[in-house]
Amino acid sequence: MILLGQDIHNATLGIIGLGRIGIAVARRAKGFGMKVLYYDLTRRNEIENTQGIEYAEFDRILAESDFISLHANLTPETYHFIAKEQLGKMKRTCVLVNTARGQLVDSMALYEALRNDKIAFAALDVTEPEPLPTNHPLLTLDNVIVTPHIASASVATRTKMALMAVDNLIAGLNGEMPPNPVNPEVLRRA
């Protein structure tokens, strides 16, 4: 039974945070015949219609999803968005994937849920703290995969990131709004 995992074909994927990356994940999931539910602060009717995905309340996503993929921004409201209570609402067979921000998930609550078979697996490209200390309890489990924040580790992605940084720099030097600001509200106040 080594390396045995969950089948994604015809499974339900819950996406938390339907920005650019969440939309790309939804599109790929549909290619595997997955039912895709999403939760976001902003309802995306046009995406629902074009991608064939469905908006759902947060608790419904927790209860119905076979896989939950986190793509939300880190804000005071989303800090530990996934904690003991939310983990307790998930299917015991659920796989939690976090490639967004480590602080979206309460690491110790996740450890307890995984250790006590409250959820099946977790795949974490980001953690709290980051990086995890070598003696962190999550690293003792065989039902969690932790990678060192490498979701962008491809030549094409890193090249695009560099070009976006250059575009931002040139716009800033020209006194224009950068095309990809992290915090546009600060620039608008200036």
- Antiparallel, parallel or unpaired: β 35-39 and 12-16: parallel
Catalytic residue, chosen from 101, 128, 176, 189, is 101
> Distance (Å, rounded) from C-alpha 180 to C-alpha 8?
33
Catalytic residue, chosen from 54, 85, 130, 176, is 130
Q: Catalytic annotation on 77?
A: no
Intra-chain end-to-end CA distance of the chain, in Å: 59
Q: Catalytic annotation on 20?
A: no
Q: Which residues, including other chains, have CB under 8 Å from residue 68's CB and lie 6 or more apart?
A: 13, 14, 15, 16, 61, 62, 82, 90, 94, 95, 96, 97
In this structure, are residues 49 and 78 in contact, taking their beta carbons and an 8 Å threshold?
no
In this structure, are residues 30 and 52 in contact, taking their beta carbons and an 8 Å threshold?
yes
Catalytic residue, chosen from 27, 115, 136, 149, is 149
Q: Catalytic annotation on 189?
A: no
Task: Show which residues are catalytic.
Answer: 101, 130, 149
